[in-house]
Amino acid sequence: MVKKNVCVFISGKGSNFKNLIKRSRDYNFPIKIKLVVCNNKYAVGLNFAKINSIPYLVIDTNKRNFENLILLNLKKHKINLICLAGYMKILSNKFLNSFKKKVINIHPSLLPKFKGLNTFKKVLEYNEKKTGCTVHFVNKKLDSGKIIVKREFFLNNNETEKTLRIKTQKLEYLAYPEAIISIFKYC
């Protein structure tokens, strides 16, 4: 199998990134992670890049040309797909138009419900019966691109933001690899 080159964008913990590294070791999993982009030099997730000898780029989003620097590196590593995994910065329209390949994201709610931040808080406030995660293509509107995979669970009576986060992330580790497989199924 010829694996596709992927760049993962992170900002923090990087547990989805860690999970994708693990999955990409499978012979049959369609990607290899060639690059990591991170906008936070203190991100714990960067350690997974270091431990696994994956090239990483720490960017300063206050600098004017930071997206050009990313684009240059994506080209250098022949990246076919960007996976956003807890990347807390919105990509500009100019960036999305320039990259031209696919960009996907994982979001901790059942989209189109609860776009943006504070999803677990909103799930509790709205007394939702179920919640979960969604992997979707990234377009110019926040958390609004075509949905690839959703995974869900039913809430108990005593859920907190913490329990919802733990349960949702468990599902994320299944949903993200599943979405990647489905994208490259016929390639």
Residues 128-147 that bind ligand GRF (CB under 6 A): 133
- Taking CB under 6 A as the criterion, the residue among 57, 70, 85, 111 binding ligand GRF is 85
Q: Which of 36, 81, 106, 123 binds ligand GRF (CB under 6 A)?
A: 106
Spatial CA neighbour of 20 closest among 8, 28, 38 = 8
Question: DSSP 3-state assignment of 52?
Answer: coil
Sheet holding 4-10, edge to edge: 56-58, 31-38, 4-10, 81-84, 102-107, 130-137, 147-154
What ranges in the chain are assigned the alpha helix state H? 15-24, 46-51, 66-76, 93-99, 119-125, 161-183
Query: Would you count residue 107 as binding ligand GRF (CB under 6 A)?
Result: yes
Nearer to ligand GRF, 17 or 99 (CB): 17
Q: The tokens of 108 are what?
A: 């901790």
The reply to whether 108 sits near ligand GRF by the rule CB under 6 A is yes
30 interacts with ligand GRF by CB under 6 A: no
Q: How far is the CB of 108 from ligand GRF (least distance, A)?
A: 4
What are the catalytic residues?
107
Residue number of the CB closest to ligand GRF reads 86
The residue among 75 and 170 lying less far from ligand GRF, judged by its C-beta, is 170
Buried b (16+ CB within 10 A) or exposed e, 112-136: ebbeeeebbebbeeeebeebbbbbb
16 touches ligand GRF (CB under 6 A): yes
Interface contacts to ligand GRF, rule CB under 6 A: 10, 12-17, 45, 85-86, 106-108, 133, 169, 172
